Structure 1
Amino acid sequence: MKPIIEYQDYRAFMSDYYEERKRTSAFSWREFAKIAGFASPSYLKLVCEGKSSLSKVTMGRVAKAMGLAGYEVTYFETMVKFGNAKKDSIKMEFLQEMQAMARDHKVRIIDKDAFEYYSTWKNQAIRELAPMMPGAMPGEIADVCCQDVSALEVRKSLQFLERAGFLRQTQPNTYEQTEKDVAGSKEGLPIAIRAMHREMGRLAIDSLDKFTADERNVTGLTMGVNRECYERVVQELTACRKRIIAICSEYSDLTQVYRLNLQLFPLSRDVKGKEEA
């Protein structure tokens, strides 16, 4: 079984613990629950299946039942808080605590590059800009950015993109993109991406006043849908995004970086569902 600090999902850790114990002994969910002091023999099974959650009161009992000690208890309890948190800002705090503990014990943090990549629009824009400007110094790249950015920030971004494998330097100050995708855990990556969407959304709002109508295209529509209609619209948006990528890939003489946001979100609750309730 992997060390606890290689986990970010407490349910996955508990499940692996159970399977490991069961593999080497006649361990059962009933026994697991009994050791942890739960009356229900299936409670911890329901927790691992995502049908229930540990609480601040019960997480310590489960940690003790699994034989955790020292920093392992702290890490497990932080995992529980991370898994139970509803707001991204709170989840981020607990995830950073987990990462700090993992760093202290020399475990590779798979989400670190993802969080840094999505932490600012600069990394994504510079990843596109740098290959368009062979030989350009950081200050020159900064000068063509529509948002305020310093030469130092560009230099730091380039260093990160190269270190993380998103750009490859072929000659001094000349870069090419790699095929590397942004990787992360199933717990951490969505938080990083949502943070990116928030920042890109703010830039989209700023674009309304910052650019003339012939430099930007901001449109939208409000419509009624049901679930089947919604899913078909999402499929169409996905297909549209792929067609746009294909169009851009036809051109080699790229000269500018644009951002396209596709946003579909509810303005009302399900009225039929409300009536049935």
Structure 2
Amino acid sequence: MEDILTYTGYRQYIADYYADKKAKSAFTWQEFARAAGFSSPVYLKYVSEGRFNLSDEAAFRVAVAMHLVDYEQEYFCEMVKFDHAKKDSDKKAAFNKMLAIAEAHKAKILEGEAFRFFGDWKNPVLRELAPAMPGAKPLALAHACRAKVSAAEVTETLNFLVKAGLLQKDEDGNYKQTEKSVTTGPMEVTPLAVRNLHRQMGEFALDTIEGVPQDKRQFSGVTVGVTREAYEEIVQEIAEFRKRVIAIATRDSATDEVYRLNMQFFPMTNKGENKKG
């Protein structure tokens, strides 16, 4: 499903959200309505069709039911205001607010440079670290990284990030991010690059078990037996949690340290594969 910031109509977003959920599970309009606090099982269906409207309070409940967080909730509610506005001035005000939210939180979509960006841990780390250390030379940035990296590698990485439009360098040599976040484009090669990044970050995580004090890291895990339906639901919960973490992390412009959050949910048995054989 497309990012909410690409929408201007809240009814279409509701319809697409339902269609996306329906394609992945036995999701129903009744379940959707109940989650948003409506007694009528078809209320949101009628809203998506333009037959009913949403109040401001109901808009927020629907946003929460769709697991929207932070600026996403705000954007959705502004879309509702934009759709319902009677006066041109109110409609313009709502639309300008939508534009401001989208501009502040838009993500850089990587296509041609995706393999290189996601293929090396230094790219995402230095994209976060360089703006947090204004005026720092490559050697200082290299020393700030826990993983071993040379000043020359830092310089090469920064040059790539600027060339790819992921960082901007001012006349004083300071860097700033061009976008709040980075996402991948529709590339066949991207999964390979992302797998490589996951592998690198997983190795770094192992090193921190002994190398980082417990009050500066968080490790936890649980082993459970699940059905395929439960697996799909858990994967969705992980995706929603990741969105909430990003919203918290991007709320402030300041950065004290660069952290990596690995979310892993993988099989420890192969019963299903044995059945197929």
Which 10-residue stretch deviates more, 114-123 or 233-242? 114-123
Native 8 Å contact 1:166 1:177 kept in 2: yes
Which 10-residue stretch deviates more, 243-252 or 222-231? 243-252
TM-superposed CA distance for 1:184, in Å, is: 4.8
Normalization by structure 2: what TM-score?
0.56
1:199 matched residue in structure 2: 200
Which 10-residue stretch deviates more, 187-196 or 175-184? 175-184
TM-superposed CA distance for 1:275, in Å, is: 5.4
1:240 matched residue in structure 2: 241
Higher relative contact order (CA 8 A, sep 6+): 2
Q: Given the alignment of the two structures, is residue 211 of structure 1 paired with residue 212 of structure 2, yes or no?
A: yes
Gaps of 5+ in 1: 1-109
Gaps of 5+ in 2: 1-109
1:263 matched residue in structure 2: 264
CA distance in 2, matches of 1:276, 1:139: 54
Greater C-alpha Rg: 1
TM-superposed CA distance for 1:170, in Å, is: 2.6
Q: For this pair of structures, how many residues does the alignment match?
A: 167
TM-superposed CA distance for 1:150, in Å, is: 1.2
Q: Given the alignment of the two structures, is residue 152 of structure 1 paired with residue 135 of structure 2, yes or no?
A: no
TM-superposed CA distance for 1:168, in Å, is: 0.9
AA of the residue aligned to 1:234: V
CA distance in 1, matches of 2:146, 2:157: 16
CA distance in 1, matches of 2:193, 2:186: 10
Native 8 Å contact 1:134 1:175 kept in 2: yes
TM-superposed CA distance for 1:252, in Å, is: 2.4
TM-superposed CA distance for 1:166, in Å, is: 0.8
AA of the residue aligned to 2:133: M
1:170 matched residue in structure 2: 170
CA distance in 2, matches of 1:210, 1:167: 30
TM-superposed CA distance for 1:181, in Å, is: 3.6
TM-superposed CA distance for 1:195, in Å, is: 0.8
2:250 matched residue in structure 1: 249
Native 8 Å contact 2:166 2:178 kept in 1: yes
2:228 matched residue in structure 1: 227
Question: Taking structure 1 as reference, are residues 127 and 153 closer, same or farther at Cα in structure 2, changes over 3 Å only?
Answer: same
The two structures, once aligned, show a CA RMSD in angstroms of 2.1
1:48 matched residue in structure 2: none
CA distance in 2, matches of 1:138, 1:222: 42
- Give the 3-state SS of the residue equivalent to 1:171 in structure 2: coil
Q: Given the alignment of the two structures, is residue 143 of structure 1 paired with residue 153 of structure 2, yes or no?
A: no
CA distance in 2, matches of 1:226, 1:270: 11
Native 8 Å contact 2:142 2:150 kept in 1: yes
1:25-104 pair list within 5 angstroms: none
CA distance in 2, matches of 1:165, 1:139: 23
CA distance in 2, matches of 1:276, 1:173: 59
Question: Taking structure 1 as reference, are residues 275 and 168 closer, same or farther at Cα in structure 2, changes over 3 Å only?
Answer: closer
- Give the 3-state SS of the residue equivalent to 1:120 in structure 2: coil
AA of the residue aligned to 1:259: R
Question: Taking structure 1 as reference, are residues 173 and 224 closer, same or farther at Cα in structure 2, changes over 3 Å only?
Answer: same
Percentage identity across paired residues of the two chains = 43
Question: Taking structure 1 as reference, are residues 172 and 224 closer, same or farther at Cα in structure 2, changes over 3 Å only?
Answer: same
Native 8 Å contact 1:111 1:188 kept in 2: no
TM-superposed CA distance for 1:173, in Å, is: 1.9
- Give the 3-state SS of the residue equivalent to 2:222 in structure 1: coil
